[in-house]
Structure 1
Amino acid sequence: MNPAQNLSRRQMWFGALVIGAIALLTLLSAPTQSASRSGSTYSRAPDGYGAWYSFMSDRGTPIQRWQQPFEQLAQKQPSSANQGKITLLQINSRLKVASLDENQKAWVEAGNTLVVLGAHAPVTEATFRTWQTSEVGNVRVETRRRHYLPKQGTTSLVLGDRFGAVVWQESLGQGRVVWATTPHLAANAYQDDRGNYEFLAQLVTQPKQSIWVDEYLHGYRDPADATGSGSGSEKRSRSFLAYLANTALLPGFIQVGVLLLLGIWAHNRRFGQPIPVTTPAVDNSKAYIEALAGALYKA
C-alpha cells in the first residue's frame, strides 16, 4: 500500500473519531431544561401552565409563584391582606409516588392545602381520552391511569369513573392534600377546554387561603433567597456556571476546548508515524579532493 494512502486513511479515521467525540459531548452536555420546565407557569409550551396562570390573574384571583425550598414555606407568615393559610400547587414534570415526607405532612396537618398534579397510578383498561363530569363543566382527561380508593378512610373521590379516581383528596389533620393522576390537567394544550381551567381553579381556591404555585420544582430560584451561603464571588461563579448549563454555550465551550487540545497535540506530533532523522554518509575521497583543491588554490 502506498504510504501516502495509508497516512490519508489514518487521518480519515482520526477525523471521524474526533467528530464522534464532539457529537457525544454535545449530546451529554446539552441543556435539559425542557423536561424540568414541563408544568411551569413560565412556559408557553403545550405542557406548560402559562395560560392557566394568566387565566387566574385575569379573573382577579390572587396567585403567586413560590421559588424557594419547601422548608421555607412553613416559615412564611400570612400577610395582612390575607390572614389565612396557604394553598400550594405542585405540577410535577414526571409522575411521582403519591406520598408526603414528614415536612409536607406536618405542613398540611397545620391547616394548609397541597394540590399535586402528576401522581403515579397503575394503568387501567379505561379509554385514554375521557370526559369527566364536574360542578364547573366537563373536564377532558387524557390518561388511562386510575387510583384505587379504599371504601373506608379519609380519602374521597373528586373526579373519576368506574375504573378509579383521576383526582382524589385526603384529609390530614386540619388540612387536606389533593392528588391527580395527570400532570396536564389544565396545561396550555387545554386552553379551549374551559372546564379544565375552571376545575383546577376550584381545586386551589379555598376561603382565606392564599394561592402559590411551586416553581422551585422547575428550577426557578428566588434571587433574594436568604438561604444561599458563600461569598459574593462564589455566588456569582455558581450563577454563571448554572447559566452555562442551561444554555447552548456550554457545549460550544466544550467543543472549542477539545479542538484546542487536538491542535496542541497535532502541533507537537503530526499525523502518521514519526520519520527518523538520517545522518548523511561521508565520502572520504570527495572530501580529500576538495581539501587538496582548497590548499592548491591558496598556494
Structure 2
Amino acid sequence: MRSLFVTVSPDLNLRSLRGVLFDMDGVIYIGSRLLPGVQQMFDYLESTGRKWLCVTNNASRTPAQFVEKLKEMGVRATPEHILGSAEATIGWLAEQIRDHGWPRGKVILVGQDGLKAALKQHGFETTQEPNEATYAVAGINFEVTYEELARCTLAIRNGARFLGTNSDPSYPSERGMLPGAGSILALLATATGVNPIVIGKPNPGMYDQAIRRMGLLPEAAMMVGDRYDTDIAGALAMGLATTGVLTGVCSRADFESAPTPPHLIVNDLVELRRAFEQADA
C-alpha cells in the first residue's frame, strides 16, 4: 500500500506529544493475528521518553489476561499498560460512590472475567437476585444466556442503575464483524426502556482515566484507533491529537469524510512510528 501520512490538521505536532493511547482490536491485533509494527512502535515511544497505554473497549479480559495474549504474540507489556472498559467502568462507579454520594450496593452483571475482576478489585459484592441489586452492569459476554439477560432486565426494571462498559455494536475478528457489547446493551435497553450510562469510548470517562493514569494533560496525548465513532470522535472531544489507522474497521474515505477528520491517517503502526521518527529528527 502507498504511504499515506495524511496530515489533516496543520496544528499537529508529533514531537511535542508525551504519550500515546492505542485501541487494541483492529490496531494491535485482529483476533489472534498481530498487526504490523506493534513492538517496534512501543519500543520507539519508550526510547524517546514517551508513555503508552492500550485503551480497549473489550471488557471480557483482565489486564493480566491481555498482557498474556500480547506475550503470546511476542509483544511485551505489563498490566499497567492496559486500561479496559471493565476496569474503567467499575473505577468510575467507585468514584461516584466515593465522591458524589451514590449508594453502596450489590451489583448484578452480564459480563466475563474483566468485569468480575474489576468488581472484586473495588470491593463490590455481586448478586444474582434482581431484587437485591443496586446496580446492573453489562458488557460483552461470549457465553451469555437468556437467564442472565432476564435477571439483569428484572433488576433494571426494579430500579437498579444501569451501566454499560461500551456501546460498540460490533468488533473485528478473524471471522469478520461480530456482535459487540453494544448489541447486549441494546437488547437490555429495549427490554427495559432504560438507556445505560456508558463509560467506555467514545465517552469522556474512559479518556479521563487514561490520561490521568499517564499523568498528562489532554493536549500532550494522542489516541490511535481504527474506528472513527469510538476511538477518534471521543478523543477529539477531549482535546487529544488523533491518528486513524487502516488495519481495522474504517477506510481512508471513512476517516476523511468524517465531520472532523483525525489529525493523521496511516496504514499501520509501522507508518506511525516513521512519522514520529521524522518529527523527532
Give the shorter-chain TM-score range: under 0.3
TM-score, normalization by structure 1: 0.24
Q: Which has the larger radius of gyration?
A: 1
